[in-house]
Amino acid sequence: MIMRNKKKLLRIIVIVILIVFTIFSFYDFIHLTNQFNTNTTLDHLKDVGKETANNYNQKFTTMSQYLKITSRLIEEEYNSEKDISDILSNLEKNQIMFQRLWYVDNNKIVHNYKEKIEFKAVNNYVDLMLEGQSGITDPFESPYNHKLVIVVYNPIYKDGSIHGGIIGIVEINDENRDLIYNDVFNNEAYVFATASDGHIISKIKNHNTIYDGDNYLEFLKSHVNYIDGSYEEINDNIKKNKSGYVTYDYKSNQSRIVYYTPVKINNWYVFTVISRDIVIQKNEQTNHIAFMLIIKIIIVFIVLTILIVLYFRKINKINKDINKKLEASNRKIDVILKQTNDRIFEYSIDKDSLTLDAWNDYPKVMLNSFLSNLHNYNFVSKEHENLLKEKFREIIDNKNKIVFDAKFPYISKDDKTWFHVSIIYIEENHKLIGTLKNSTEEMEEYNILLQDHMFKNAIYSNALAMFAVNLKSKKVVIYQMDGYYHNAIDVEYNDQFISILESKAYSSDKERVKRFFNYDRIQNLYHHHEGINRIDYRSYNEKLDKYVWIRYRIQFERQSSNNELLMIAYANNINEEKLKQLENEFKAQRDGLTGLYNRQTFNQLVDTYLKNNNSAICYNAYMIVDLDNFKKINDTLGHSYGDQIIQKVAKILEENCYDNGYIGRFGGDEFVIFLYNQESYAMIENKARQILKQIDSIEIERNFECSASIGITFVKNEKSHSYLFDKCDQALYVCKNSGKNRFYVFNDNEDTDL
């Protein structure tokens, strides 16, 4: 009674411990999840801030680069004020980055030739520009229209001295979403971009916005109470150009989390702000989910406990039934084995003992320590000892069935008799059951077949591999690998056998190999002469550790011993021949200087794609790339130097357009590109910009410059390369007549801006 009470008390204690542990685990889970939610929110806040800062940096850097290119254009083509007016007017029409582009002369006079406006510049950035500096200003009020603007400026040189400069005007809106990273917590966050003095450049607001003034640093200094961090910490980090977090209260009931990070321009900063309520709401949602999860788990635990109890009761009943059936099955096996004409043996894996049942006049024999003492028993011929051990290990490792042929002097009392061995694994008894069948006649037939004249044929002797299949029995009767012939008794010619050949084939050749060796196809080849009797494909060579080209041939022969039809398949190494063929095909399709597709091959590839793959939902494009003023480089620096430039341009095109694209050279300095299955038309235009930028950066002797013009047409429903080429040629003509070093997209209806 006392013992029973102790067990009952012990169960209660274990249950209580489990309950306490479960409660603690869920509490810890909620705590960690809340912490994870907070960290995830802060990380996202950080990502928004950094992406916004990066947007500012990229956009204004692009503006600076654009002004430098414009300044260079004016330097090259400037002869009068009318030239400047025409250039600025044309550029202002074809760009969307600046609200205005103005020229400043050496006397600090700002000119807007389009509106015929002039006025004296008073800002200090003009002095810096006329001293040879380029840069970006902080926001200031424009004397032109009294709006808040940022100016990007760059000097203009003529004959080595400064002859003025060009300024790009960017008007600052109260709310400018173009520069703000668009993933801002489903509009639950707001963002301020400020100059170094805290003056707000641009902002994005929502219903949580608590500040609507002009200087965010002044607000953080004087109007908030800090929970984490301080204004001094913010000010110190700004001086060091570092990022950071702060949390503050505003008017005692509005808490905010702020991440601030620098923009790589004039010590500008981006402040990303969210309400602390967002984190609190997420944690409350997590707590609710966790509570519901606890309830569900408890219900599931109760149901599982009931099911487990029922399951184990059922398992006990099944085990009893299995044991009864197993006893009956063992009796049946004993009866079947005793009735067979083959010699029966039984091997105990646990005891390493082999028992040979009585057979004809031979008595029952038991051999203990069988595998460990195999050599001393002289059970199997010395040449087959390792084979026997290997096959026993294979089936012990849970292979379903093992068959092999070997000589057993212990049974036959001579070294000439062959036995065909079949072994199965009996899992319940942890034993192997096997039969020994005299296979001398089959092996003699095999040797006759091996020595037959067809296997002495020079083709077979030089073959990498070969195998023969009896088409009537659908059995593999022999196979050769690396010069060694092997018996293959009881091997079916089926998908499993073919998969061995298929496994060594190169990935893109596997399906062809499978179809070529298909049994029904081979039958059709013999009876109806339909199909081919050879296949070339790449196969993995283990000795060379690489794929080599091989050729399998099929022919049909009558077996000399019984006149049955054999299919003979043999493989030869054709790697050198095939590689030479592929090399010649490659050269026939390529331009000799650059290795790009020649005109004929390129046109064929484009026409094939347009015929088979063109779809309205695909983003495809055709481009013509033509180098600007290339004849001057050839005439001055020589054709050999010009060829080097052509090769560099070809490399740039391949690096940018190799994926999902064909690239060709039509001769001289003219290249063509066909891009297919691109992500968007914008992605295609970005590739064109990248190509122009990289070609422009090619360094050439004697201060020569390399640039290109690109004509583009987006593929719609065209079915021939010629239509696309004509449209691109028209677009290229526009480029060449609009200043070169740019791209133009052909439009059937209206002109498209450069």
Contacts (Cβ under 8 Å, ≥6 apart) of 427:
none
* pLDDT surpassing 80 at residue 622: yes
Question: CA Rg, the chain, in Å?
Answer: 42
Q: How many angstroms separate the Cα of 365 from the Cα of each of 335, 379, 400, 433, 650?
A: 19, 12, 26, 15, 81
Q: What is the pLDDT of residues 712-740, one digit of tens each?
A: 999 988 888 999 999 999 999 999 998 88
* pLDDT surpassing 60 at residue 459: no
Q: What pLDDT, on the 0 to 100 scale, is given for residue 331?
A: 59
- Mean pLDDT for 115-132 is 85
Give me the residues paired with residue 115 across strands. Answer: none
Q: Which residue has the tokens 């038991």?
A: 366
Q: What is the pLDDT of residues 279-329, one digit of tens each?
A: 777 777 777 787 787 788 888 878 888 888 888 788 878 877 777 766 665
Q: What pLDDT, on the 0 to 100 scale, is given for residue 49?
A: 84
Give me the residues paired with residue 348 across strands. Answer: 353, 431
Q: How many angstroms separate the Cα of 167 from the Cα of each of 69, 104, 134, 164, 267?
A: 13, 7, 10, 10, 21
Percentage of the chain modeled with pLDDT above 70: 88
Q: How many angstroms separate the Cα of 331 from the Cα of each of 326, 328, 334, 335, 506?
A: 9, 5, 5, 6, 51
Q: Which residue has the tokens 């709310």?
A: 175
Q: What is the pLDDT of residues 475-522, one digit of tens each?
A: 888 777 665 566 555 688 999 889 988 998 999 899 999 999 999 999
Q: What pLDDT, on the 0 to 100 scale, is given for residue 687?
A: 94
Tell me which amino acid residue 355 is.
T
**Axis crossing angle, helix 721-736 with helix 599-612, rounded to the nearest 10:** 120
Contacts (Cβ under 8 Å, ≥6 apart) of 176:
202, 203, 204
Query: What are the structural domains of the chain?
Result: 340-438 (3.30.450.20), 443-579 (3.30.450), 590-745 (3.30.70.270)
Cα dihedral 477, 480, 485, 486, rounded to 10, equals -50
- Mean pLDDT for 248-252 is 82
Contact 71, 165 (CB under 8 A): yes
Q: What is the pLDDT of residues 535-579, one digit of tens each?
A: 999 999 888 888 999 999 998 887 665 677 889 898 888 888 888
Identify the three-state secondary structure at position 186.
helix
Separation CA 700–CA 268 (nearest Å)? 38
Confidence of residue 92 (pLDDT cuts 50, 70, 90): confident
Name the pairing type of β-strands 708-714 and 743-745: parallel
- Mean pLDDT for 352-360 is 81
Q: What pLDDT, on the 0 to 100 scale, is given for residue 754?
A: 38
Contacts (Cβ under 8 Å, ≥6 apart) of 420:
403, 404, 405, 436, 437, 438, 439, 442, 489, 490
Separation CA 664–CA 650 (nearest Å)? 9
Q: Which residue has the tokens 């019984």?
A: 562
Locate 518 and state its tokens. Answer: 């298909």
Determine which of 90-94, 423-427, 541-545 has the lowest per-residue pLDDT on average.
90-94
Confidence of residue 752 (pLDDT cuts 50, 70, 90): very low
- Mean pLDDT for 195-212 is 81
* pLDDT surpassing 50 at residue 458: no
Q: What backbone phi and psi angles, to 5 degrees, belong to 375?
A: -60, -40
